[in-house]
Structure 1
């Protein structure tokens, strides 16, 4: 018998997209799926759309939160209901192709138990569902151009964001051992990647098994908003990575990642968090005059964010245009 897969879909104000998202779960070729939907106190018509879907698929588990409790805590609500051997964290605006779960389960079942994650390439779509581009560039054979890190990926996790998070399937036993998502954080993937990749391996399937929708106000852009909580969460994860790292190379990679976060603090006008990142960096290496200068400029509270917002909008439009011309979201080593 095919092992059960629990799909946990968290929704907050995704009324235009939630039905298509849930229908993509119903359309899977795999036949042993538990679907859990959490409406995290949406203020639009999301709940009504979800209930319309449930009218057709009454086995769906539905959790409705009166207050928005955050993404990580909402996911853990679903994890508490999950019975599957494997788990997918599905955003309510994304879409899965019909063969996704079947292919990922097949891969997982052939892997040793020290593999915690199976992930894939992904496409990017706009609000209307039109293709924008791909996470990794595709060759003429439909395969990724370049080498996708797989197996022991902890060092690469420290170095940069390279996995399209919506494409991952997780081994539930690992999630449970880790205690689920850290509910003190405002976002989940960096923390989960660090904690799981430290002790477990990742396997890559060279297929496009997810469509991620690109919306204005994406999570990545929120790093640069004044007063955002994501930088504080990132600092907490970097502290975990400091405790977990074992070699000088890993510490060096973490140091470079910390420097990237300090730059984001400057744009977000967050002097306090920049100072905290600088203190952590100092445990690894001398921050150097450039970092010290940047932290000093943060403390001056220069009004740089409004200017960056114009740049960010231009950069976002440029990125979409380049993706439509075949430039991938992530550049791989050859």
Structure 2
């Protein structure tokens, strides 16, 4: 076990995978102040029924005792590799660091406040093996749990009309522009997809929207209708911090929307992006992010879909800034 770097990780993975029949799957377990949840998360890796795993533990300079727990698990599981980062790099940079030192044909970005159900990796690998090679992502349903691991609800609501939000599959570029429907922690990603994109964009404060946009332009996505993951809801999670004043994630959203506009090829795709921009504009105004609201309106104008209400919101934001 190496606590300061991944070192011989690729060589060890190649040695492990030589006689294996299934593809190697890399689990990048990213931790930042997850001490209360770490044992359940790491035990869920150990409980996987799929045997061909490469596990990288990355602590992003936690301050809550997470490092001691990670050291203990790495010591008890000699094939796991541990890196304790001396300074906080953020999720995108920390993930890319691990990705460069890994070898798996498929990759899971695993936040260590979440939980993998035992059949998760086996089900998704089996699904990928049935799909054509231009599928880059398999995602699934998830259970949302609270800080005490109690079930809150599922990601998708189910009724006689189907699943809500409706999951899209195949070429989903326009879908990921217009709406949220993917439960991020459930994704199994093809390594080739990540490498084509150069990993995550390290200039951003979060990764999923940008990954969906860039990956969906060139790769198909598949929805596997299974619950494979338990996603933790708690006050310090990223999803709970969005849209507050001076929100760093909103600037990243604007940057991703700029990228998305450059990638749009048809009026229908621009219209899908306009749906997203209009929603983000309203949220920005609602939470008092007036400078960002004006930037979103300018992007909305470039889609040729800005309407009178959008203009009024932009004018309101301009007046509040002055």
Distance 1:202 1:286 in 2: 27
Residue matched to 1:320: none
Residue matched to 2:155: 135
What secondary structure sits across from 2:67 in the alignment? helix
1:166 alignment partner, one of 185, 195, 212: 185
* Residue range with higher mean Cα deviation, 76-85 or 262-271: 262-271
Once the two structures are TM-superposed, the CA of residue 148 in structure 1 deviates from its matched residue by 2.9
**CA 1:236 to 1:208, structure 2 compared with 1: closer, same or farther past 3 Å?**
same
TM-score (norm 1): 0.86
What secondary structure sits across from 2:54 in the alignment? strand
User: 1:151-162 to 2 correspondence within 5 Å?
Assistant: 151-162=170-181
Q: Is the 8 A contact 1:29 1:99 kept in 2?
A: yes
Q: Is the 8 A contact 1:88 1:170 kept in 2?
A: yes
> For residues 13-71 of structure 1, what are the alpha-carbon distances to aligned partners after superposition, in whole Å with 9 as ceiling and x for unaligned?
11000121111011100111011111111110110111121121122111111111111
TM-score (norm 2): 0.89
Residue matched to 1:98: 118
What secondary structure sits across from 2:206 in the alignment? coil
Q: Is the 8 A contact 1:223 1:264 kept in 2?
A: no
Residue matched to 1:327: none
Residue matched to 2:30: 10
> For residues 174-206 of structure 1, what are the alpha-carbon distances to aligned partners after superposition, in whole Å with 9 as ceiling and x for unaligned?
100100000000000000000011111011111
Distance 1:99 1:184 in 2: 34
Q: Is the 8 A contact 1:8 1:37 kept in 2?
A: yes
* Residue range with higher mean Cα deviation, 110-119 or 147-156: 147-156
Residue matched to 1:186: 205
Distance 1:148 1:278 in 2: 28
Q: Is the 8 A contact 2:167 2:182 kept in 1?
A: no
Distance 1:63 1:146 in 2: 37
Q: Does 1:113 align with 2:113?
A: no
Distance 1:126 1:43 in 2: 22
* Residue range with higher mean Cα deviation, 101-110 or 261-270: 261-270
Residue matched to 1:271: 290
1:82 alignment partner, one of 91, 95, 102: 102
Distance 1:79 1:27 in 2: 23
RMSD of the TM alignment (CA)? 1.8
**CA 1:282 to 1:86, structure 2 compared with 1: closer, same or farther past 3 Å?**
same
Residue matched to 2:249: 230
User: 1:215-226 to 2 correspondence within 5 Å?
Assistant: 215-226=234-245
Distance 1:268 1:11 in 2: 29
Q: Does 1:247 align with 2:266?
A: yes
Distance 1:280 1:204 in 2: 30
Q: Is the 8 A contact 1:40 1:68 kept in 2?
A: yes
Residue matched to 2:48: 28
Distance 1:100 1:117 in 2: 14
> For residues 283-311 of structure 1, what are the alpha-carbon distances to aligned partners after superposition, in whole Å with 9 as ceiling and x for unaligned?
11152221122122223448xxxxxxxxx
